Amino acid sequence: MNLSLLLLRTLLTLTIGAAVAFNAAAQSPPVILVLGDSLSAGYGLPQGKGWVDLLRGKIEAERYGFKVVNASVSGETTLGGRNRLAPLLATHKPAVVIVELGANDALRGTDLATTRANLKAIAGAARAARASVLIVGLRIPPNYGPDYTAGFHALFADVAKETRSALVPFMLAAFAERREMFQEDGLHPVAGAQPLILDTIFPQLQPLLQRVKARAASLSADPAA
């Protein structure tokens, strides 16, 4: 075999391989990345019963065409999430990032400006990676003091507005006053509360999913768009 023929075959092999890889990537479902703490990691719940698991089931059952990746870690703070985000974005290339962080900052008495800055950095990095962002708001008991309590609740809306992200005002709004909906620690919701959490979050998530699908359809119709 002469050198020219060998080079031609090598070039064809590389071209075909690249095309196959490109098509496989194009056919992969867009990713919803959940970056959260124990409230999203399913702390104290039977396997598969957390609200993120229920979201995955809903997405599959209703054929939304997305893959749900749960990157939540019990005990996570906004700083921990900020530090972990870059490799998660690089690995999963999410179309949507759900940010549920801040409760552990409050438990540690973290300065509100620090929590705000970390959440803003997380949302900014996700948006820079071309992901839509959903900020999930939280509240804390009044025993932290009125100023800290009010400031903590307000910072989620502030970050969402500043970063042009979608917002769930309060993750536990549907049952926050019902003690029986929490585990013995009084902090983590029981399995029966998880569908209520999903019902609170999904109405704000759904428009983001529709936007991603609409953009994908537009790009398919006009690759130059």
Each residue's pLDDT tens digit, 90-130: 999 999 999 999 999 999 999 999 999 999 999 999 999 99
Supply φ then ψ for residue 99, to 5 degrees.
-110, 110
pLDDT in tens, the chain (225 residues): 554 554 446 444 444 444 333 344 446 999 999 999 999 999 999 999 999 999 999 999 999 999 999 999 999 999 999 999 999 999 999 999 999 999 999 999 999 999 999 999 999 999 999 999 999 999 998 888 999 999 999 999 999 999 999 999 999 999 999 999 999 999 999 999 999 999 999 999 999 999 999 988 877 666 555
What are 197's strand-pairing partners?
none
Distance, in Å, from the CA atom of 212 to the CA atom of 152, rounded to the nearest integer, reads 30
pLDDT at 142: 86
* pLDDT computed for residue 21 by the predictor: 39
Q: What is the pLDDT of residue 219?
A: 72
pTM: 0.86
CA distance 101 to 37: 6
pLDDT value, residue 169: 98
Instruction: Give the separation between CA 209 and CA 95, rounded to whole angstroms.
Output: 8
DSSP lists the bridge partners of residue 32 as 68, 96
In the chain the domains, ranked by start, together with CATH numbers, are 29-221 (3.40.50.1110)
What is the set of active-site residues? Answer: 38, 185, 188
The residues pairing with 31 across neighbouring beta strands, listed in sequence order, are 67
DSSP notation for 18-61: HHHHHHHHHHSPPEEEEEE-HHHHTTTS-TT-SHHHHHHHHHHH
CA 185 to chain centre: 25
* Coil, strand or helix at 103: helix
Distance of CA 79 to the CA centre of its chain: 16
